[in-house]
Amino acid sequence: MLVHPQFDPIALSLGPLKIHWYGLMYVIGFLGFLIIGKMRSKEPRSVMNPDRVDDMMFWGAIGVVAGGRIGYMLFYNLKGFLSDPISLFQVWDGGMSFHGGLLGVILAMFLLARRWNLNFFQVSDFVAPLVPIGLGAGRIGNFINGELWGRATDVPWGMVFPQVDNIARHPSQLYQAFLEGLVLFLLLNWFRKRSPPVAAISGLFLVGYGIARVMVEFVREPDSQLGYVAWGWVTQGQVLSVPMILLGLLFMGVAYKVGKR
C-alpha cells in the first residue's frame, strides 16, 4: 500500500510571493503549447504562423481560466454560486472545470477564426493535438495537491491520502494524467500526420478525451457537493463527457464523408 507524499503545494516562496505547483503546471501547459505550436506553424501546409500561435495562447489562456472557473461554479457548485455570486471570483478557494475551460477555448478559437478568415475547424484541428500537454500537467498538479483522489480499492498500487482518511484509494489523478495527457497527445499527433480531413482531428480529440474521462470517473471519487447524479453510480464528469464523444463521432463521420466527395 502506497502513501501520498503530501507535497508542499508551494513550489517557491519569494518573500510574500508564493508560487504554487498547480500554477506552475498551467505555465508548463501554456509554454508547451507555445513551443510546439510555433514549431508546427512553420510546417509547409500550416495555415498558422508564429504570431497567430501567440494570439491563440493568449486568448486561449483567458478562455481556460475564465471558462474553467465559470464552468466549475455552474456545473459543480451551482448552489454555492446562487447563494454567494461573489464566490465566482474567489479563485484562491480552488475549483476549475475542464468542460468549462473547453467552452472558453472554443469561444476563443471561434473569434480568432473569424478574425483570420479561416474555417473554425482549421483552427481547432491545429489546437487539439496541443491541448493534452496542459491536461497532463494539470492532473499532475492535482496529484501534488492531493486533491481529486479516487475511490477505495484493494489493488496493489492503491494509495492512502492521509489528508482524507487511512483507506487505500485509486490515484485517479495519475490515471488521468496518463490517459488525457500522454496517450491522447500521442494519439492525436499520430493521427495528425496521416493528413485526415478537416474537423477529424477535433472530432478525435472529443472522442478520446470523453472516453478517457468516462473510464476514470468509474474509479474517481465524485465531488462531495454533488455525489452521484444518477442511478447511484453516474457522475457529473460522465454526464458532461458523453456528449463530447457523440459530437466527436459526428464530426469525424461528416469530415470523412465530405472528404470523399
Annotated binding site: 139
How many helical (H) and strand (E) elements, i.e. helices and strands, does the chain have? 10, 5
Instruction: Return all residues near 150 (Cβ < 8 A) that are at least 6 apart.
Output: 169, 170, 171, 172, 173, 175, 219, 220, 221
What is the bridge-based pairing of β-strands 159-160 and 2-3?
Answer: parallel
Contact 139, 181 (CB under 8 A): yes
Of 92, 91, 89, 127, nearest to 107 by C-alpha is 127
CB 34 within 8 A of CB 53: yes
Cβ atoms within 10 Å of 182's Cβ, excluding its own: 14
CA geometry: angle at 233 spanning 228 and 238, to 5°?
75
- Kind and range of the H or E element at 162? none
